[in-house]
Amino acid sequence: AQKITQTQPGMFVQEKEAVTLDCTYDTSDPSYGLFWYKQPSSGEMIFLIYQGSYDQQNATEGRYSLNFQKARKSANLVISASQLGDSAMYFCAMREGWEAAGNKLTFGGGTRVLVKP
Amino acid sequence: EADIYQTPRYLVIGTGKKITLECSQTMGHDKMYWYQQDPGMELHLIHYSYGVNSTEKGDLSSESTVSRIRTEHFPLTLESARPSHTSQYLCASSPWGEGEQYFGPGTRLTVT
């Protein structure tokens, strides 16, 4: 079974509007971490936001926020006020277990976002 | 600002050649990783290391090998390149106690 599922292969969003990227995960480990990365066409991976399984509040970083619904095992990324530079692939990833045990990440298939002017 | 470097950025090479992809980081991170990514697809972990003289195979089987003789250096070697090795290879590192991985710019390998 897929550990990280991103059901939206691609989507368009109008500049200045908000967009939500879906991510569901599957783990039986009570301790885990969820990450979102952005990959522009140049290929590098840019870290956006992190949510720990025991964090009480949803993570926020500037225009990025993570809608963490633990019971549903979802960790959707919300980008507010989209900019043309937000056009990229976005990957959801999960680390299972405690941080001290290792940081191996499992990635989802990604969602391609294209921001229209 | 993350300081992790990969060379070369692009490489086109013939079948059967031996190649080494370089990865170096100046942050003193103990943990380092190699991922393979086909265009527009997910990343797959192929090797990782938790410190000097520590190397492990990742979730995706790979014909490549790695070494970790120095903390800052984690090269990946293909003894005999094949067209099926054509892909992007991303190196990453992270310190103990933090989940975030810092990625290098990647090497786009084409084997003809």
Q: Closest-CA residue in chain A for B6?
A: A44
Residue with tokens 């001290």: A100
Beta strands in A1-117 (DSSP E): 4-5, 10-14, 19-21, 24-25, 32-39, 46-52, 60-61, 64-69, 74-79, 88-96, 106-107, 111-116
Task: With CB atoms and an 8 Å threshold, state whether B103 touches A102.
Answer: no
Which of these ranges, A38-42, A92-96, B93-97, B108-112, has the smallest mean pLDDT? B93-97
A56 compared with B99, residue with greater pLDDT: A56
Task: Kindly give the confidence (pLDDT) of every residue in chain A, 117 residues in length, as a single tens digit, with 9 standing for 90 and above.
Answer: 679 999 999 999 999 999 999 999 999 989 899 999 999 998 899 999 999 999 989 999 999 999 999 999 999 999 999 999 999 999 999 998 766 556 688 999 999 999 999
Collect all residues from A whose CB is shorter than 8 A from any CB in B. 33, 35, 37, 42-47, 50, 52, 89, 91, 95, 99-100, 102-110, 112
Which chain B residue lies closest to A48 (C-alpha atoms)? B100
Beta strand residue intervals within chain B, DSSP E: 4-7, 10-13, 19-25, 31-37, 43-51, 54-57, 65-66, 76-78, 87-94, 102-103, 107-111
Task: Please compute the mean of the pLDDT values over residues B46-73 and round it to a whole number.
Answer: 92
> Which of the four pLDDT bands, split at 50, 70 and 90, describes residue B2?
low
Q: Which of A5, A105, A106, A113 to mutate to test the interface with B (most CBs of B within 10 A)?
A: A105
| Residue A75 token pair | 């960790």
Q: Which of A96-105, B9-18, B21-30 has the lowest mean pLDDT?
A: A96-105
Task: Report the C-alpha gap between A79 and A19 in whole angstroms.
Answer: 5
What is the residue whose two structure tokens read 């809608």?
A67
| A5, A45, A89, best to mutate vs chain B, most B CBs in 10 Å | A45
- Secondary-structure breakdown of chain B: helix, strand, coil percentages, each rounded to the nearest 5: 5, 50, 45
CA distance B67 to chain A (A): 18
